[in-house]
Chains A and B, each alone.
Chain A
Amino acid sequence: MAKGRIIIDVDRCKGCGLCIQHCPVHILELDLTTTNIKGYTPLIVNDPDKCIACSFCAMMCPDSVITVERFIKE
């Protein structure tokens, strides 16, 4: 069960991979099947259920691509 989720602003992504390197649960990768408006291969989440909403990816992103939301129990 995911503890949160990330929202990716695809067209800002430059595909540098710093987020992928620092994700502790290894659920990020570059989507090599497509390109964004800048011509880079953008970030996707390959296993959203494992996200722990730690924000490491967003902290390491140089281009403010990632927003992190944590789920709250009702």
Chain B
Amino acid sequence: MKTKRVYEPTKGLTERALSYCPGCTHGIIHKLVAEVLEEQGLLGETIGVASVGCSVMNYEFFNCDMQQAPHGRAPAVATGIKRVKPDKTVFTYQGDGDLASIGMAEVVHSAHRSENITVIFVNNAIYGMTGGQMAPTTLIGQKTSTSPEGRNQLTTGLPIRVSEMLATIPGATYLERVSVHDPKHVRLAKKAIQKAFDVQTKKQGFSMIEFISTCPVNWGMTPTDSLAWAVDSMIPYYPLGVYKDATKPGDDDA
């Protein structure tokens, strides 16, 4: 019987097995970014910037040119790359410990300058690689290795909502928060990445896609339970949706 391939591993990722723990949604997000780059024919034209954290090794996985940046400095490195090579597509791939903590200044100033780069921000509310410490995005009451009684608002403040904060910046062009907890949301997330790279291709400025992700090992849950926890606990505090779309209606024709 004849068959037609309807889904196969993307060429945007290398053959190498991902280094992430079982059930970590980093893998799904890698796949979506790689699929979009492949479908838009950008693989040979793209320079990615890897961050520090679990995704520190992602230059081994993306099948495009990659550069490693110091902790949190990926948007600054991407700014330099984009200014030297403005015809290339430049994206950064950062976790919440990298972008929302040590790298907060870089992403805020990149958005203020409306740098024409795309930021892929993976928010799983914890520091994964270093052993599950509290991150700026850790939810109130969430137990981590440095907040064993649960995060306390009185001593550590409230979790940072990065997309909402950047939406107040005039230079930011496209900001959306998506999730990958089921196939429907995976499809919507892919559309968001397509839109973000479109914004960059049309030279409209700074775009960021925030992903609600999971960390089964450091949350102490099975992969399926952690997807349910992300839906039940994270999405109510980090609502999904488009936070800013400053692309002009007529720009699609340009």
Seen from chain A, the residues whose Cβ lies within 8 Å of a Cβ on chain B are 4-5, 9, 12, 14-18, 21-22, 38, 40, 53, 55-56, 58-64, 66-72, 74
Contact with A along B96-133 (1 / 0, CB 8 A): 00000000000000000000000000000000000000
Which residue from A18, A59, A71 sits with its C-beta under 8 Å from B7? A59
Q: Contacts A22-B183, A59-B186 given: A16-B223 contact, CB under 8 Å?
A: yes
CA of A10 to CA of B33, assembled, Å: 24
Judged by a CB distance under 8 angstroms, whether B222 is at the interface is yes
Tell me the interface secondary structure of chain B in the complex.
mixed
Query: Smallest Cβ distance from B126 to chain A, in angstroms?
Result: 17
Contact of A69 among B6, B20, B21, B27 (CB under 8 A): B6
Query: What residues of chain B have their CB less than 8 Å away from a CB belonging to chain A?
Result: 1-10, 13, 17-18, 20-28, 30-31, 182-183, 186-187, 216, 222-224, 227
Instruction: Please tell me if the beta carbons of A17 and B183 are within 8 angstroms of each other in the complex.
Output: no
A72 to B22, CA, bound (A): 34
Contact of A17 among B8, B25, B182, B223 (CB under 8 A): B223
Distance in angstroms from B186 CB to nearest chain A CB is 5
A16 and B23 contact, CB distance less than 8 A: yes
Question: Nearest Cβ distance between residue B1 and chain A, in whole angstroms?
Answer: 5
- How far, in whole Å, are A74 and B1 apart by their CA atoms in the complex? 7
